[in-house]
Amino acid sequence: MRKIEHLGLAVLNIDQAIKTFEDLLDTPCYKLEEVESEYVKTAFFQVGESKIELLQATDENSAIAKYIAKKGQGIHHIAFDVANIEEEIARLQAKGFQLIHQTPKDGADNKLIAFLHPKSTEGMLIELCQEK
């Protein structure tokens, strides 16, 4: 894995959170994107070579809605940039890690993504990202 691509932050109100993070980071949100398959709205900020991804649920069945109901707003996942996501999935499976996605899927911000199951990563939700 090459770097932390982004941190995914679960928020209740993305419009309010965008304003907060624009002021905090002193940089504008560069992309707003709804991912209908995941029932989320996302907003991205560039911070040096990494990014911040804000996530707001658009449906009560969204993983983000469930996360916030359980834990409140906070850091939802850590995403690592990988050169070849299929090779990385195979490498991790060979090591015994459990993947939520066995094959890469389309994610926000022009990425192929796959999530690891927190059961096999000390309770942390980890995302793999490959630039398309």
Minimum CB distance to Zn ion, residue 54 (Å):
10
Nearest CB to Zn ion, comparing residues 63 and 79: 79
Contact set with Zn ion (CB under 5 A): 8, 53, 79, 127
- Could you tell me if residue 110 is left (phi over 0), alpha (psi between -120 and 50 degrees) or otherwise beta? left
Helices (H), the chain: 14-25, 63-71, 85-94
Site of tokens 């995302």? 127
Residues in the chain: 132
Assess contact for 78 and 124: CB atoms under 8 A.
Answer: yes
Nearest CB to Zn ion, comparing residues 50 and 120: 50
Assess contact for 42 and 51: CB atoms under 8 A.
Answer: no
Minimum CB distance to Zn ion, residue 8 (Å):
4
Nearest CB to Zn ion, comparing residues 25 and 75: 75
Minimum CB distance to Zn ion, residue 53 (Å):
5
Nearest CB to Zn ion, comparing residues 31 and 94: 31
Minimum CB distance to Zn ion, residue 63 (Å):
11
